Structure 1
Amino acid sequence: MNYWLMKSEPNTYSWDNLVKDKRTHWDGVRNYQASNNMKEMKVGDLALFYHSVNDKCVVGMAKIVKEFYQDPTTDDDRWVVVEIEPVEKFKREVTLADVKADSRLSEMVLVKNSRLSVQPVRKEEFDIIVGKGNE
């Protein structure tokens, strides 16, 4: 199993939207590295759902339920989507400041390359953030 972090602007698509929809395809990714990360996702992988821009926090956990296919919002075959479902909303948001303040997370992609919208997360990092979210 692999672990990921997926960013979304909450005014565009929030955790509450995902819960309401119960399942969605993750579209609109136009960065090669992020798209390549999505191509690596497998059914059953888990992802931290991150509200970007103003909130800058992890709010919950989602699961990959369908592997990559052509992004239906474009005819350009370089871009793909995956489908996700909500797993759990955290009891508390784990802010970017919380992540940066924890030395165990200093090598996390979120800290090193904060602009990448879909990024891998090491299991240890994933577990730490889930623990913080469920405190």
Structure 2
Amino acid sequence: MRYWLMKSEPDEVSIDDVAAARNKTVAWFGVRNYQARNFMREMRPGDQAFFYHSSCANIGIAGVVEIVGDAYPDATQFDAASPYFDAKATPATPRWDSVDIRHLRTTRLVPLAELRSHPELEGMRLLAKGSRLSVTPVEPAEWRFIEQRLLQES
């Protein structure tokens, strides 16, 4: 199993939206960065991800989700009415992918500043200067630290 961090703007899809899709999966779409897309292609069913709220007043880890399928072509790239439309993408040669996720649990919000305050996380890709990717791998030691130390705190 691998671990990931997936950023989402809560006004697009929040952890509450994923939780509300009880017994269903949610398509995670709209990634338009090749490196992030390539990370999505590495995801496998059973992998877990921190669901991270970004571009909002309260940014940070808001929950944990599970990847439930391999990456597949993101339908929004073909929809001219979508803000994620890509005129260079065709069904025969798609450029962008989606993955389906399901809610595992909503957590307390772990803000970016709190993540930055722990030397154990100094190598975390999310915390790298200039990091803006919406999908990044999380090292097993980073995952364990966040799970055991930060998500267990009240």
- State the shift of 1:108 in Å: 0.3
Equivalent position amino acid for 2:75 in 1: P
- State the shift of 1:38 in Å: 0.2
Report the aligned-residue RMSD.
1.0
Q: Give the Cα–Cα distance (whole angstroms) in 2 for the partners of residues 11 and 133 of structure 1.
A: 23
Which has the higher mean CA deviation after the structures are superposed, 69-78 or 116-125? 69-78
Runs of 4+ in structure 1 over 2 Å off: none
Q: What corresponds to 1:63 in structure 2?
A: 66
Equivalent position amino acid for 2:44 in 1: K
Q: Give the Cα–Cα distance (whole angstroms) in 2 for the partners of residues 127 and 134 of structure 1.
A: 11
- State the shift of 1:114 in Å: 3.0
Written as runs of structure 1 = structure 2, the 5 A alignment for 1:43-58 is 43-54=45-56, 55-58=58-61
Q: Which has the higher strand share?
A: 1
When normalised by structure 2's length, the TM-score is 0.84
Equivalent position amino acid for 2:98 in 1: V
Q: Give the Cα–Cα distance (whole angstroms) in 1 for the partners of residues 147 and 52 of structure 2.
A: 12
Q: What corresponds to 1:125 in structure 2?
A: 142
Q: Give the Cα–Cα distance (whole angstroms) in 2 for the partners of residues 62 and 9 of structure 1.
A: 15
- Deviation track 1:39-58 (CA, whole Å, cap 9, x = no partner) reads 00000000000000122210
Q: Secondary structure at the match of 2:69?
A: strand
- Deviation track 1:48-105 (CA, whole Å, cap 9, x = no partner) reads 0000012221011000001101001113211001100011111x21110011000010
Q: Secondary structure at the match of 1:73?
A: helix
- State the shift of 1:109 in Å: 0.4
Unaligned runs of 5+ in 2: 79-88
Equivalent position amino acid for 1:104 in 2: E
Count of residue correspondences: 134
Q: Secondary structure at the match of 1:62?
A: strand
- Does the aligned pair in 2 maintain the 1:109–1:121 contact within 8 Å? yes
Q: Secondary structure at the match of 1:53?
A: coil
Equivalent position amino acid for 2:5 in 1: L
1:93 to 94, 109, 130: 109
- State the shift of 1:133 in Å: 1.5
> Which protein has the larger Cα radius of gyration, Structure 1 or Structure 2?
2
- Does the aligned pair in 2 maintain the 1:94–1:129 contact within 8 Å? no
Unaligned runs of 5+ in 1: none
Written as runs of structure 1 = structure 2, the 5 A alignment for 1:96-107 is 96-107=112-123
- State the shift of 1:12 in Å: 1.3
- State the shift of 1:134 in Å: 2.2
